[in-house]
Chains A and B, each alone.
Chain A
Amino acid sequence: MRAILLIVAILAIVAAPMAAPWLQFVLTMAVAKGLAALGVAVLLRAGMISIGHAMFVAASAYGVAFLARAGIADFGLLLVLSVVITGLAGAVVGAFLIRYRAIFFAMLNLAVSMVFYALFAKLYGVTGGTDGMTIPVPTVFGIVLSEPTFKAVLFYGSVALMVVVGLAVHRYLDSPLGHALSAVHTNEVRLEYLGVPVWAVLLVAYVVSAVLAGLGGAIAGFAIGRVVPDFAFWTASGHLVLVAVLGGIGGVPGAFIGAFFLELLHTEAAAFTDAWNLIVGAALIGVIMFLPKGLYGLLTRSEVSAK
């Protein structure tokens, strides 16, 4: 039942831009944000909240921009390399940060992300400062594409990537490593008594989350055609957590449900109100207080009652 629902949803996403072409950009961004939010959601499973993950979104987008400037023009190569770089950055930052829990984990992520932000913003000669860097239209398998064609390729590629990555993360969360993650949340010490190296479990999770944020960042960068330091600002990190929680961290689709819901609602709401943050903030508080499993929880709950 749920699987069918998800497939229908994906088909609807694929078909939407044919009816309304401007939706293509909005939906591409929704996939990008969903991927990044999924990264945050992975850590939330272990009860670890990061208000700094936008740094990996930015790192990857800047990675693409720098690699493109260095002469790499192929889409696939740019994507893979920038995500690998982000993964490495995640491993370095993670190795240091996973020692901390709770508020300290959240704040240290914030601290590191603000260093990233400030460096991106201040190194005018290298990063273009607050003007950011251009991300040119890349070639795809050696073929030079026009901008609209590339954006179409990017959109369908992103949706495909969302499905593949979503399945992979689902497998990961269902593996012993993934279950150990939830166990960190409930009882970390018992996990250690059982001989499970908590630091390894968390480091893997941190790198996975950085890679997911990196994927999102690269896609967002390609879609916008530019990367600016604001990608890494703390409110951007806050929004990633918000998307994850709004959608629900109970399963992989939650992050994407949150992202699509917010992006589409934003596009609609922008037409008649500019109190967007107020709406989102109130929705966030409402969901936390009354819908602890997020919007995705609505889906899963209805399935239980259907049984």
Chain B
Amino acid sequence: MINVRIFVTYKESVFDPQGETITEAIHSLGHSDVKQVHVGKFFDVQVDSSKENVEKTISEISEQLLVNFNLETYHYEIMEEA
């Protein structure tokens, strides 16, 4: 079993109102050193497959389902081999 974490975020050019709002809230807490926040999501996926095949699976599920390429982009980390 391989644990993979897939991160999905807005592409850089896409306006992120949640990130914007959170940045404002952080500033109101007094942390003016925080310049920008981008919100994204991650998926923890357990794959029962070999290391060679896992990358193919991950890119397929990301591209077919988890990511909307009109808005979003993704990367992933292979966390550990269980």
A binds B: no
